[in-house]
């Protein structure tokens, strides 16, 4: 069954956790003991109805504050599709968590309050969704009951966001008027908004077309480790194991092992003791090559006709996630696929103006949650693609050497 990964984003109190709770409730993905706990919480608080947002507020602190401060993942399925939801925070100081949730998502649910319309966080999260290559976005105009289910209010917001999505180049945007707490236009069309003729949210999630984009890309296998069993059954066995980061591998394919640049041919594609006729992203496999090549973790086996860029220096866009300010000359460990190298940020080439939705001038620093373009030089060559071509081989993180904290998430623009 096909899997759809999506995230919810938007400002605090716009109803993200409630929407997820409603989706889980309407698809009967809630356990009996969870329902009993919600009912006890309702009786204790004296509220008229159960608080579905509690289903995703995994941390006690969140419940006490009534906000989401970490990424919470939930799972559910329908007869048509399986789903993984990333519930991301709405506060601006937790933008880094939104980036984390968006990094593997196919689709983004961007919520806003119908009374407030488009605010800065709406633009910020739409920009990040576009930056991270999310092709499908649903603008959920929530709390329509508080604007009397007004079609004109909805159309005004929809038209205003159309200008935002056009500026960002978002390819697929659908706006849906909803009331998450009551389930209006969630699992089925609402009788209170007969003027809306589009699909209910769940129907759209079940039917949105996901292109098999990963398998169409150039073949890439970042090597995680080398298999050498040294057993009587596999005396001469030697294979490169990892998760396919793009494209497909078949026996007989011409490949190149990078960064050494050694050409070879795929002898077999192995998985759990069997030889496969073909393996596609994101399968985990082992490749046996026709030649005895010296390579290990961090190497990349790539399609010979369409190799990645090999360079020590590149331009990238980053989301700065640290309380410490980033300044040119800062040094980090850079984790890219299975390879970790030392790196220095040579320059901050531009910062993002979220009001104008365009790049601003260069800067001497980036602060927490700032978005900007930088030039990075590594101590050793990396094998990468532009993020626009491959999200797996075009992304990286910067790590503080002393604390081992993740300081930034990055998307490679081009090699230098």
Q: What is the pLDDT of residue 30?
A: 75
**pLDDT mean over 138-156:** 96
Q: What is the pLDDT of residue 16?
A: 84
pLDDT beyond 70 at 346? yes
- CA distances to 151, 184, 190, 191 from 196, rounded to whole Å, are 8, 11, 8, 10
Q: What is the pLDDT of residue 399?
A: 96
pLDDT beyond 90 at 59? no
**pLDDT mean over 251-257:** 97
Between 365 and 61, the more confident residue is 365
Please provide the average confidence, as pLDDT, over all residues in the chain. Answer: 88
Q: What is the pLDDT of residue 91?
A: 62
Q: What is the pLDDT of residue 369?
A: 83
375-385 pLDDT, tens per residue? 999 999 999 99
Give the per-residue SS3 of the chain.
Answer: CCEEEEEEEECCCCCHHHHHHHHHHHCCCCCHHHHHHHHHHHHHHCCCCCCHHHHCCCCHHHHHHCCCCCCEEEEEECCCCEEEEEECCCCHHHHHHHHHHHCCCCEEEEEEECCCCCCHHHHHHHHHHHHCCCCEEEEEEECHHHHCCCHHHHHHHHHHHHHHHHHHCCCEEEEEECECCCCECCCCCCCCCCCCCCCCHHHHHHHCCCCCHHHHCCCEEECCEEECCCCCCCCCCCEEEEECCECEECCCCEEEEECCCEEEEEEEEEECCEEECCEECCCEEEEEECCCCCCCCCCEEEECCCCCEEEEEEEEEEEECCCCCECCCCEEEEEECCEEEEEEEEEEEEEEECCCCEECCCCCCECCCCEEEEEEEEEEEEEECCCCCCCCCCEEEEECCCCCCEEEEEEEEEEC
- The two tokens of residue 43 are 């009786």
CB 12 within 8 A of CB 220: no
pLDDT beyond 90 at 67? no
Q: What is the pLDDT of residue 70?
A: 56
pLDDT beyond 70 at 61? no
CB 55 within 8 A of CB 22: no
**pLDDT mean over 2-10:** 89
**pLDDT grade for 63, boundaries at 50, 70 and 90:** very low
**pLDDT grade for 57, boundaries at 50, 70 and 90:** low
**pLDDT grade for 88, boundaries at 50, 70 and 90:** confident
> Ranked by mean pLDDT, which of 36-40, 244-248, 350-354 comes out on top?
244-248
274-292 pLDDT, tens per residue? 999 999 998 999 999 999 8
> Ranked by mean pLDDT, which of 30-39, 54-63, 210-219, 386-395 comes out on top?
386-395
pLDDT beyond 60 at 252? yes
Q: What is the pLDDT of residue 60?
A: 45
Omega of the bond leading into 265 within 30 degrees of 0 (cis): no
Q: What is the pLDDT of residue 21?
A: 86
**pLDDT grade for 212, boundaries at 50, 70 and 90:** low
Q: What is the pLDDT of residue 410?
A: 93
CB 203 within 8 A of CB 77: no
Lowest mean pLDDT among 4-18, 46-60, 266-280, 300-314: 46-60
Name, in order, each residue with C-beta under 8 angstroms of 228's C-beta and a sequence gap of 6 or more: 237, 238
Question: What's the chain's length in residues?
Answer: 416
CB 287 within 8 A of CB 239: yes
């Amino acid at each position: 069954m096909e899997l759809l990964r999506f995230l919810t984003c938007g400002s605090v109190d716009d109803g993200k956790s409630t929407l997820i709770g409603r989706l889980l409730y309407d698809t009967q993905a809630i356990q009996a003991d969870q329902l009993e706990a919600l009912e006890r919480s309702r009786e204790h608080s004296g509220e008229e109805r159960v608080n579905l947002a509690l289903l995703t507020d995994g941390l006690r602190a969140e419940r006490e504050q009534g906000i989401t401060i970490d990424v919470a993942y939930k799972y559910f399925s329908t007869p048509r599709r399986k789903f993984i939801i990333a519930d991301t925070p709405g506060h601006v100081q937790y933008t880094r968590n939104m980036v984390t949730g968006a990094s593997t998502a196919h689709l983004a649910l961007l919520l806003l309050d119908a009374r407030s319309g488009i605010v800065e966080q709406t633009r910020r999260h739409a920009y990040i969704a576009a930056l991270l290559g999310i092709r499908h976005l649903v603008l959920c105009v929530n709390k329509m009951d508080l604007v009397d289910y007004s079609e004109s209010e909805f159309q005004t917001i929809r038209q205003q966001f159309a200008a935002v999505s056009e500026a960002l180049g978002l390819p697929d945007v659908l706006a849906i008027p909803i009331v998450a707490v009551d389930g209006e236009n969630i699992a089925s069309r609402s009788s209170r908004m007969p003027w809306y003729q589009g699909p209910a949210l769940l129907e759209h999630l079940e039917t949105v077309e996901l292109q098999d984009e990963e398998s169409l890309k150039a073949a890439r296998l970042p090597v995680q480790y080398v298999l050498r069993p040294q057993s009587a059954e596999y005396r001469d066995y030697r294979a490169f194991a990892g998760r396919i980061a793009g494209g497909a591998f078949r026996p007989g394919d011409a490949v190149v092992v990078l960064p050494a640049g050694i050409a070879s041919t795929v002898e077999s594609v192995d998985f759990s003791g069997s030889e496969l006729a073909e393996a596609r992203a994101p399968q985990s496999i082992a490749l046996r090559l026709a030649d005895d090549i010296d390579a290990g973790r961090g190497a990349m086996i790539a399609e010979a006709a369409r190799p990645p860029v090999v360079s020590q220096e590149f331009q990238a866009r980053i989301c700065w996630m640290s309380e410490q300010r980033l300044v040119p000359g800062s040094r980090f460990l850079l984790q890219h696929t299975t390879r970790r190298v030392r790196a220095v940020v040579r320059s901050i080439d531009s910062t993002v103006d979220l009001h104008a939705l365009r790049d601003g001038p260069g800067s001497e620093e980036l602060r927490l949650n700032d978005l900007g373009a930088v030039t990075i030089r590594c101590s050793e060559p990396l094998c990468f693609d532009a993020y626009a071509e491959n999200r797996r081989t075009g992304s990286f993180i910067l790590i503080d050497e002393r604390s081992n904290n993740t300081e930034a998430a990055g998307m490679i623009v081009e090699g230098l």
